[in-house]
Amino acid sequence: MKIWMAMAAALALSVSAGAAQAADKLKACWVYVGPVGDFGYSYQHDQGRKAVEKELGDKVETVFLENVAEGPDAERAIERLAREGCKIIFTTSFGFMDPTIKVAAKYPDIKFEHATGYKMADNVAIYNARFYEGRYVMGQVAAKMSKTGVAGYIVSFPIPEVVMGINAFMLGAQSVNPDFKIKIVWVNSWYDPGKEADAAKVLFGQGADIMVQHTDSTAPLQIAEEQGKLGFGQSSDMIKFAPKAQLSANTDDWDPYYVARVKAVLDSTWKSGSTWGGMKDGMVVLSPFTNMPDDVKKMAEDSVAKIKSGELLPFTGPITKQDGTTVGEAGKSLPDEELLGMNYYIKGIDDKLPQ
Amino acid sequence: MNELLSIVLTIITAATPLLLASIGELVVERSGVLNLGVEGMMAVGAVCGFGAALMTGSPLVGVLAAIAAGVILSMLFGFLTLTMVSNQVATGLALTLLGLGLAGMIGEGFVGQPGVKLEKISIPGLTGIPFIGPVLFGQDLLVYVSLIIVAATSYVLFRTKTGLIIRAVGDSHQSAHALGYSVIGVRYLCVMFGGACSGLAGGYLSLVYTPQWVENMTAGRGWIALALVVFASWLPWRLAIGAYLFGTITILGFSLQAVGIGIPSQLLSSLPYVVTILALVVISGNRALTRANTPACLGQPFVPDR
């Protein structure tokens, strides 16, 4: 399996990096962890790349590498882009963090941008999206729409980002129905349509009637559609797969960020920094609310507006953890560092967090 | 009852693609050829099946296209390893890479499009029986096909002359050759049968399991199928037990998680592998029988001396 992935990555490298060169254009490059055809996370980043091409036209040339395995392979891939004349390189997965920092140290004139990590340098900026804002609103909608009061939640790996999402969802749900329950299944994969479908079937079989996922395929939502249940899309708007089941989808929109950052390099105004954008910045977008009555839709839209204005902070303290202790100051959001290292469930979640 | 029914139905869907892919590979290996390209053939089968069904609107056409795609890819493997006598392991691995890449390329336009689903059958009067009805008489066509293939393979391999020839070619190609059988010809047919089954398994993923096309949707199932063949010691019915056991443990793992009793999910994820291997090792405890069933010429190239 490992060998196969490494070889697949090597193959992907040799195939997709073959774009033509042009000396006077700025070369902007992307490294993806998955295939651009996943219709999820990597797909969404690639939409951003296409937006850059569209927006800046002749001034840029873009290159991407897909299916790059996290780890030593990534370093080779990134370095190769650096040597090939890329002036700005976006590395879009958490596991590319250390490779990015290493390569950046060797090429001080090239700008690097790393998504979802926390290590920075003079020529390495970091960016991420506040996905949890969308999940809070999803929780509210789920609690309103569920008849059984139970949502099924399919998740990948117990990293802070995912745990944060579960907690935000629950906080949203509890704000509507304090007794709301979720059943959680970890499939230990970001992307395995078959497993995700199996998990969805099992969860529906156990009484959940709303499906939430933090994995990347459309499979769980398709099962919801098939069984006449409801669910939320992930990363991309998946309404085509579940016209009667999708309530909304928590999507990432990297387009404006990518356009702005590439432009900054063109204008020589690029600076390293940390961007954690949310709904307000248009980086997290909930796709249209569908398959719900008007009052629920209105509640959801109001929440979105309040989150945008800063009136509603999903993680407002004090928050009670599963073990009964509390965190956060009253009336204030948990600080970003606390969120980025979140490794506990909030009260009301019956599952045990895998460590 | 309903919960149990949903679990049983989910298990059947999870086991069928594994069974389809592995039964084909079993025949290939019985003829002495090791084709590691199952994953690649599945991927191409999945994308071609999906595409054909989408364009014609008929899932049955999709099924046929998936089979055809698997066969074509396996013929390439056959040409390289049987005619050109290239290394089977290396060629098989290359076939996986080629298949995954090719599938991604063919499928570029299909990403994000809902597919056509092969519906479950319904027999008036029978499908309506509680529990037994939906389990026995309400599956999709391919579930029955997979079981029929297992039964037929078992019969042909061990009860017919054809099976004897296939096993002879796999056990001692020189002797089979000396007896006047076309070793290469038999192997070509077996490799193509394997391709057809792998393609069908891929089609099952994109037409029944999750009717959609996305890259890497096979997610390693081809490798599991390969392992099942070895652990079932090349016996069709054991293979069926292995595939269903694997599916059962996977689904039970999810159920346990959803109940929320706090068993680490990593452990539950690894259980299907552990339990299936253990179970098959235990039932193949008779080592003489295992040795007798291992194709002696597995992976060895055959060059007829002229």
Q: Do B216 and A35 touch (CB under 8 A)?
A: yes
Q: Do B14 and A218 touch (CB under 8 A)?
A: no
Name the A residues in 205-244 with CB < 8 Å from any B CB. 205-206, 208, 217-219, 222, 236, 240-241
Question: Residue A53 corresponds to which tokens in the numbers above?
Answer: 């091409």
**B108, B223, B251 member nearest A198 (Cβ):** B251
Angle subtended by helix axes B2-30 and B236-259, to nearest 10: 150
Question: Residue B53 corresponds to which tokens in the numbers above?
Answer: 């069904």
Interface test with A, best of B54, B120, B207, B215 (most A CBs within 10 A): B215
Q: Do A187 and B113 touch (CB under 8 A)?
A: no
- Give the CATH number of domain B2-122+132-293; options: 1.10.287, 1.10.3470, 1.10.30, 1.20.1070: 1.10.3470
A231 and A154 share one domain: yes
Q: Is residue A355 part of a domain?
A: no
Chain length of chain A: 355
Q: Which amino acid is at B124?
A: P
A294 and A172 share one domain: yes
Say what the pLDDT of residue B306 is: 58
Question: Residue A48 corresponds to which tokens in the numbers above?
Answer: 């951003």
Question: Residue A210 corresponds to which tokens in the numbers above?
Answer: 């709303």
For residues B271 and B39, which has the higher predicted lDDT (pLDDT)?
Answer: B39
Q: Give the helix/strand (H/E) hosting A275.
A: strand A274-277
The span from the CA of A177 to the CA of B102, in Å, is: 49
A234 and A331 share one domain: yes
Name which of B55, B53, B68, B64 is nearest B117 in CA terms. B53
- Distance from B26 to chain A by nearest Cα, in Å? 20
Interface test with A, best of B254, B261, B268, B270 (most A CBs within 10 A): B254
Per-residue pLDDT of B204-253, as tens digits, reads 999 999 998 988 889 889 999 999 998 888 999 999 999 999 999 999 98
A246 CB neighbours in chain B (<8 A) are none
Q: Is residue A273 part of a domain?
A: no
Q: Among residues A84, A106, A129, which one ends one of the domains? A: A129
Q: Is residue A82 part of a domain?
A: yes
Name which of A189, A197, A194, A236 is nearest A37 in CA terms. A236
Say what the pLDDT of residue A220 is: 94
A203 CB neighbours in chain B (<8 A) are 254, 258
Cβ–Cβ < 8 Å for A251, A235: yes
A121 and A185 share one domain: no
Q: What is the domain range of residue A68? A: 2-129
B265 CB neighbours in chain A (<8 A) are 185-186, 188, 354
Q: Among residues A78, A97, A129, which one ends one of the domains? A: A129
Q: Is residue A276 part of a domain?
A: no
Cβ–Cβ < 8 Å for A172, A212: no
Interface test with B, best of A3, A4, A11, A184 (most B CBs within 10 A): A4
Q: Do A4 and B39 touch (CB under 8 A)?
A: yes
Q: What ranges in chain A are assigned the alpha helix state H?
A: 2-16, 41-56, 72-83, 97-106, 131-145, 160-176, 193-205, 219-226, 255-266, 294-309, 336-340
Q: Among residues A129, A150, A174, which one ends one of the domains? A: A129
ipTM reported for the complex, 2 dp: 0.84
A196 CB neighbours in chain B (<8 A) are 210
A300 and A237 share one domain: yes
State the DSSP string of B177-226: HHTT--HHHHHHHHHHHHHHHHHHHHHHIIIIIS-S--TTTTTTHHHHHH
Angle subtended by helix axes B2-30 and B183-204, to nearest 10: 160
Q: Do B219 and A192 touch (CB under 8 A)?
A: yes
Q: Is residue A44 part of a domain?
A: yes
Q: Is residue A279 part of a domain?
A: no
Say what the pLDDT of residue A293 is: 97
Q: CATH code at A226?
A: 3.40.50.2300
Residue B112 has pLDDT above 70, yes or no: yes
Say what the pLDDT of residue B1 is: 64
Q: Is residue A346 part of a domain?
A: no
Q: What is the CA radius of gyration of chain B?
A: 20
Tens of pLDDT along chain A (355 residues)? 444 555 555 444 444 444 444 457 899 999 998 888 778 788 899 999 999 999 998 999 999 998 888 878 899 999 999 999 999 999 998 889 999 999 999 999 999 999 988 889 999 999 999 999 999 999 999 999 999 999 999 998 888 889 999 999 999 999 999 999 999 999 988 788 899 999 999 999 999 999 999 988 889 999 999 999 999 999 889 999 999 999 999 998 999 999 999 999 999 999 999 999 999 999 999 999 999 999 999 999 999 999 999 999 999 989 999 999 999 989 899 998 889 889 999 999 988 887 6
Say what the pLDDT of residue A17 is: 45
Counting Cα atoms < 13 Å in the Cβ hemisphere of A17 gives 25
- Distance from B68 to chain A by nearest Cα, in Å? 23
Say what the pLDDT of residue A129 is: 92
Cβ–Cβ < 8 Å for A251, A44: yes
A171 and A297 share one domain: yes
Spell out the domain ranges in chain B. 2-122+132-293
In B, minimum Cα distance to A7 occurs at B97
A118 and A149 share one domain: no
Report the number of distinct structural domains present in chain A: 2
- Distance from A205 to chain B by nearest Cα, in Å? 5
Name which of B4, B202, B267, B223 is nearest A2 in CA terms. B223
Residue B149 has pLDDT above 90, yes or no: yes
Q: Does A288 touch chain B (CB under 8 A)?
A: no
Cβ–Cβ < 8 Å for A83, A291: no
A142 and A84 share one domain: no
- Distance from A223 to chain B by nearest Cα, in Å? 8
A159 and A84 share one domain: no
Cβ–Cβ < 8 Å for A50, A15: no
Say what the pLDDT of residue B259 is: 83
In DSSP terms, B226 is beta-bridged to none
Chain length of chain B: 306
A137 and A115 share one domain: no
At residue B261, what are phi and psi to the nearest 5 degrees?
-90, 0
Say what the pLDDT of residue A13 is: 47
Question: Residue A296 corresponds to which tokens in the numbers above?
Answer: 């629920």
A21-30, B7-16, B111-120: which range is least confident on average?
A: A21-30
Q: Is residue A270 part of a domain?
A: no
Size of interface A-B (CB pairs under 8 A): 146
Q: Do A202 and B255 touch (CB under 8 A)?
A: yes
A155 and A296 share one domain: yes
Residue B137 has pLDDT above 60, yes or no: yes
Spatial neighbors of A219 by CB under 8 A, at least 6 apart, are A193, A194, A196, A197, A200, B210, B212
A191 and A169 share one domain: yes
B254 CB neighbours in chain A (<8 A) are 185, 187, 198-199, 202-203
Across all residues in chain B, what is the average pLDDT?
A: 92
Q: Do B212 and A219 touch (CB under 8 A)?
A: yes
Report residue B279's pLDDT band, with 50, 70 and 90 as the boundaries. confident
Beta A181-186 vs A210-214: how paired, if at all?
unpaired
